[in-house]
Each structure stands twice: as structure tokens, then as C-alpha cells.
Homo-oligomer: A and B are copies of this chain.
Amino acid sequence: MLNSADTPLRAALRHVALFANLSDAELDLVAARVREKRIERGAFFFHQGEPAENFHILKSGQVRIFQTTPEGTQVLMHFIQSGQMFGAIAAFGVKEYPASAQGDEPSSAWVWNANTMRELVAEIPALALNALEHTAQIIQQLQERVRELQTERVERRVARALLRLARQSGKRIAEGVLIDHPLSRQDLAEMTGTNLYSVSRILSAWEKQGLVSSGRERIILCVPHKLVILAEDLVPPPNK
């Protein structure tokens, strides 16, 4: 189904969402300026506060994007999966990375210099449109998160976070849907604006009800359908 004359690199980039609808010539422009960077598990592609020099797309592995507050508490913004861009906000305007990007596993990424990426965007209309589309989606997700933080209780926020993770990296297994990467109580807390104790209590309660099955850095949603009800239930007063 591929152009048989594709170079391996061009073929790989062709499947990245950001480069959808680019012509072969345009893909070559993009490919000509890319370089690759690998990091070990736990290492960083960049740190919060560093000058934002690069634009990244994850090639393999998994990366977490988080901010650290002056007080030292962390806020987990995103998990980046293969094919997704990161460090993009910084490349398009801001001068410093507003967050850090750390490998959850050994990871590799395609990297472009920020100025180079801006030139490419200016040269390739389809790339500009794709980039705008993706940033628009990020904005929508962030607005959703603000809305949740402002209006919803902790239990519901945790339910939503798990459902989102299941959609992103869920894996069907016998017992239900496994969140297919290490995920601690602390991680979930940093995603939902609470602490590991509250997350632990909530998961324990759900486990008693058979909704989930969880272990060390491992969570299985057994009855996702009931979590959806928890996350979105509008029935006003539970009449117990």
C-alpha cells in the first residue's frame, strides 16, 4: 500500500499524523532536516526552563510531560505515545520549555530545530494546517481538564483519567482492559490534582466493588462501563 520507491525514513514519517497529506517532495523536505535522539528510561529529552531549541515527535517508547512547581510538587500534563509531537508549544513561540519530557521507557524521537520547523511550516501549507489542528486539539483537552478540576470531585476525576488512559494505551486482556504501562498511585494523583493516599483509597473501594483490579504500578479496568457511569453520572441524588 506504500509507494515502493519510498525511502525508509520517508515511509516512516508518512504515517505520522502531523505529516498527513504531505507530498513526497514535502516529506523529503521534512526528512532532510530531521535528526534522531535516543534516551534511556528515566532520562530527559528536555527540562523545564531550558531554552526551547527543538521540536520532537516520538518514534518509539513513551514519554511523560510534567511541570514542577516552585514548591517542588509535580503536575503530570501528558503521556506521549509514538507518533505524537511534543515540545511543540515551545517551538512555536515560547522561548523556554514550560515542562520537562522524561522517558518512561527507553525512547527515541525525531527532532527538528525549532527554527527549522518554523521554516518547514511556512513552506508547507499542509503542515501548517496539520499543526494548527493538533494544537487546537491540545487546547480542547486542556480546557476539558480545567473544567474537570474546577467542577468535579476527586473520585470522578480519577475515573475520567483512567478511562482516558485506557483509550490511549488500553490493552484488552482476559480480566478487562489493562493500562499498558507502569502507572503508580502517585502518577494518577499528579494527573488528577490529588495525592497518592486519596487515589489509593479510591482504587481500594473500586476493587471491593469489582470495578478494577490493581497491583503495583498496574491497573486493570474490569467493568469500564461502570466507570463511565461514575465519570458522567448525572443522576442527582443517589437515594441509596
Chain A residues in the interface with B (C-beta under 8 A) = 67, 69-71, 73, 75, 77, 88-90, 92-94, 98-99, 118, 121-123, 125-126, 128-129, 131-140, 142-147, 149-151, 190, 192-193, 232, 234
Contacts and interface: CB of A to CB of B under 8 A. Distances in A.
Contact of A132 (B93, B149, B192): B93
Contacts of A150: 75, 149, 190, 192-193
Copies of this chain, count:
2
B71 A140 contact: no
A192 B143 CA distance: 13
A142 to B, nearest CB: 4
Contact of A140 (B94, B126, B140, B145): B94
B122 A125 contact: yes
Contacts of A147: 67, 69, 75
Residue among A70, A89, A135, A145 facing the most chain B CB atoms (10 A cut-off): A135
Contacts of A193: 149-151
Nearest to A66: B147
Given A92-B133, A92-B136, A121-B128, A143 B234 contact: no
A77 B131 contact: no
